Amino acid sequence: MTSQRVHFYQVGSFAVGNRLLNEEERTIQAQADRTNSIDSGHRACQGCGEALGARYALDAAMRATNGQVVAVNATGCLEVFSTPYPETSWRIPWLHSLFGNAPAVATGVAAALRAKGKKDVRVVAQAGDGGTVDIGFGCLSGMFERNDDVLFICYDNEGYMNTGVQRSGATPPAARTATTEAVGPEPGNVFGQGKDVPRIAMAHDIPYVATATVADLHDLERKVERAMEFHGARYLHVLVPCPLGWGSPSSETIHIARLAQESGLFPVFEAEYGVVTSVSHIRRPVPVEEYLSRQRRFNHLFGANPRPDIVAHLQAMADENIARYGLIAPEMEHSS
Amino acid sequence: MLRQIEGSKAIAETVALCRPEVVCAYPISPQTHIIEAVGAMVKEGTLAPCEFINVESEFAAMSVAIGASATGARAYTATASQGLLFMMEAVYNAAGLGLPIVMTLANRAIGAPINIWNDHSDAMAVRDSGWIQLFAESNQEASDLHVQAFRLAEELSVPVMVCVDGFILTHAVEGVDLLDQSFVDAFLPPYEPRQMLDTEAPVSIGAMVGPEAFEEVRYLAHLRQLDALERIPAIASEFFEATGRESGGLVRPYRTDDADTVIVAMGSVLGTLKDAVDARRDLGERVGVLGVTSFRPFPSEAVRDALASARQVVVIEKAFSIGAGGVLSNDIAIAIHHEQTLLRTVVAGLGGRAITRRSLEKVLEEASRDELATLTFLDLDRDAVDRERARMQATRRSGPSAENLLRDRATVAPKVRA
């Protein structure tokens, strides 16, 4: 399967993607017979990127497997807001065990299904960035290394939002969190080496690794469907803005996710067996300021005491991504 | 079939007879021989269908077992010591979710100082987790208990830990009468889960529970353990009917009927204790032994009955609560709850120190003269302790105690000595 041919860009106008597409090209989410894996009524915040991403991802997985999905969930926002018992939003079999063990629990589910000969039932494990890049990382790497038949989805909102916006290994440099306050000479999160889990996943040579954002839900659905065509360990890393933690209006979630991609700070690509096979090119390049200045967590870089030095450092990171993945399409480079 | 076999191998072969569908493990001494043997049986296809997963940590081992059990598979793992502590969060989780996982615990001390030999500190550390904990006295019992454990776990939807003394049992080669497949198949029906992940009938498992129901959920777990107090002896007696072997049950009294002093203990030390008791009986002392097989649930009533006529109870423990005293002793004290009984705790065998019959006889002798202190440490080298205490008082930077003690004992190579 090659990448999606239809180039339709949501631009923040009133244009709604599906309305402009042929029926067969519309999202799974637009279909009346979608599973509705995560039902309405859950307790996610308004504008929650994770709720949106999970709904699209799981319904796509359900479509791809003819309704045969078991979901495993790490502790975190998604777990807490979806199961305020006696209510549950899950219309698919769903198991939550602990914060750091979702990949291993999913391995166990897959092993049991194999032992029982239930070949058609597939396993999707999900966690936030904390449950993926930090506390769940050992189990995740083990799951990758053994090539266990699990699609692991990380909904990355770049911090521990459920516990009150603390720093995680996925928090970007300079971002303010409750444990990296915007004070002192180097306000916000440190500039470290970062923990780029999609690239670490690729280093395991697993069948499929992809990144996506909630700004391009067609792309997210397509990647989930693609992932379900493989057996073995697969990893999908979805950027999901968090209005609460990022300090952005609820109505801006999609826009900010798009700016993360178009600034080059969040590269969107897919890889098979450790090799990048496609890249979502930046359609309208923007400087990182456009992305950063819309979020309160980066307020200290602008305003009365601006820090152009830090912004430049972040721009350099974006430029590095652009160069590494070739995020600017060749034809665009000519025209610019 | 009676075979001369290593304890670990006997356990592995019995586990295989139970037809586990998912086995996961991370190696740790002295559990390794068990999982190696199960792994080989899966690899060569004699145990099938079964998935054997080599995981990257004990935390993952228990987590894989959780996922497998919640999917309706019979799941097994084994660990020891540090491994049990590393998986502790998942140990509690498995019990909280009511998943009937069976795990062998090859009992071993907990560091620091790092020590690979036997004691019961690991089992004691998870006594409040909601797992049933059964202690094996011999390799025959260790092996038999696994069949009973799966049966018990699945009947009640509670995980069961079979505690087997590391090295002393796991690595001992002795005669074990192994069960046959037809017996195990009849004794242990296929696993019928109370709850499972099923695409035909989706359920959510593992939701958050707030103050409105948490206490009730915990109380239900307690009730299931109380149910186990009924089921453990029932299953053991059914097992006895079929095999003629007294494996399992709640407690095992030995010469307690007219005993003035009863020694209480768990695990492999019971054999030595019985020999010591026989020797003291020959001298005319009225002593007996009470083996506790089921540590959780704690069989208070059975213990009370067995100790009813004893004037003195001496609890031999291979673990203790630092800063407090005996752990098993505490449960015994609550169970007997009459102040007339003298209750003595003897901490013994820590980190694999051999509990000899001679030392035990000395304990019995002191007990017969009412000379046992409330809490004693068997064969403690008081001089070594005093020397280190003196060093600590004399010099602020007196260095690491464990290493100082070893140096005193001259077990460090001469070259390393200062």
> Nearest-CA distance from B200 to chain A in Å?
9
CB atoms within 10 A of CB B384: 14
Position A7 in a domain: no
Q: Chain A residue closest to B65 (CA)?
A: A108
**Residues of chain B contacting residue A97, judged by C-beta atoms under 8 Å apart:** 63, 66-67, 90, 93, 97, 206
- CA dist B172 → A20, A37, B186, B236, B306 (Å): 75, 53, 29, 24, 30
Give bridge partners of residue A278 from the DSSP assignment.
Answer: A270
Cβ–Cβ of A111/B54 closer than 8 Å? no
- Give the integer Cα–Cα distance in Å for B147 and B13: 11
Q: pLDDT tens per residue, chain B (418 residues)?
A: 899 999 999 999 999 999 999 999 999 999 999 999 999 999 999 999 999 999 999 999 999 999 999 999 999 999 999 999 999 999 999 999 999 999 999 999 999 999 999 999 999 999 999 999 999 999 999 999 999 999 999 999 999 999 999 999 999 999 999 999 999 999 999 999 999 999 999 999 999 999 999 999 999 999 999 999 999 999 999 999 999 999 999 999 999 999 999 999 999 999 999 999 999 999 999 999 999 999 999 999 999 999 999 999 999 999 999 999 999 999 999 999 878 899 999 999 999 999 999 999 999 999 999 999 999 999 999 999 999 999 999 999 999 999 999 998 875 555 544 4
Interface of A with B in 31-90 (CB under 8 A): 67-70, 72-73, 79-80, 83-85, 88, 90
- CA dist B60 → A102, A141, A147, A260, B185 (Å): 9, 11, 15, 34, 29
> Nearest-CA distance from B208 to chain A in Å?
7
Position A9 in a domain: no
Cβ–Cβ of B65/A108 closer than 8 Å? yes
Question: Same fold for the domain at B2-243 and the one at B251-377?
Answer: yes
Cβ–Cβ of A146/B54 closer than 8 Å? yes
- Give the integer Cα–Cα distance in Å for B53 and B207: 27
Inform me whether the C-beta atom of residue A111 falls under 8 Å from chain B C-beta atoms: yes
- Give the integer Cα–Cα distance in Å for B267 and A197: 47
CATH number of the domain to which A191 belongs: 3.40.50.970
Domain residues for the domain of A159 are 17-335
Cβ–Cβ of A109/B67 closer than 8 Å? yes
**Residues of chain B contacting residue A105, judged by C-beta atoms under 8 Å apart:** 63-64, 66-67, 70
Residue B245's closest CA among B167, B178, B162?
B178
pTM: 0.95
CA angle B172, B175, B178 (to 5 degrees): 110
Task: Output the six-digit token pair for A188.
Answer: 């916000």
Inform me whether the C-beta atom of residue B90 falls under 8 Å from chain A C-beta atoms: yes
> Nearest-CA distance from B36 to chain A in Å?
18
> Nearest-CA distance from B158 to chain A in Å?
16
Interface of A with B in 170-229 (CB under 8 A): none
Q: Chain A residue closest to B60 (CA)?
A: A104
Domain residue ranges of chain B, discontinuous segments joined by +: 2-243, 251-377, 382-416
Q: Chain B residue closest to A90 (CA)?
A: B204
Segment A201-218, tens digit of pLDDT: 999 999 999 999 999 999
Query: Could you give the number of structural domains in chain A?
Result: 1
CATH domain B251-377 topology:
Rossmann fold (3.40.50)
Among B57, B206, B207, beta carbon nearest to A138: B57
CB atoms within 10 A of CB A285: 17
Among A67, A90, A112, beta carbon nearest to B67: A112
Tell which of B52, B69, B197 to mutate to test the A interface (max A CBs under 10 Å).
B197
Tell which of B58, B87, B204 to mutate to test the A interface (max A CBs under 10 Å).
B204
Among B60, B68, B207, beta carbon nearest to A85: B207
Position A295 in a domain: yes
CA angle A144, A145, A148 (to 5 degrees): 55
Cβ–Cβ of B72/A96 closer than 8 Å? no
Provide the CA B25 distance to its chain's centre, in angstroms.
18
Cβ–Cβ of A96/B207 closer than 8 Å? yes
**Residues of chain B contacting residue A43, judged by C-beta atoms under 8 Å apart:** none
Q: What is the ipTM of this complex?
A: 0.95
Q: Which CATH architecture has domain B2-243?
A: 3-Layer(aba) Sandwich (3.40)
Inform me whether the C-beta atom of residue B91 falls under 8 Å from chain A C-beta atoms: no
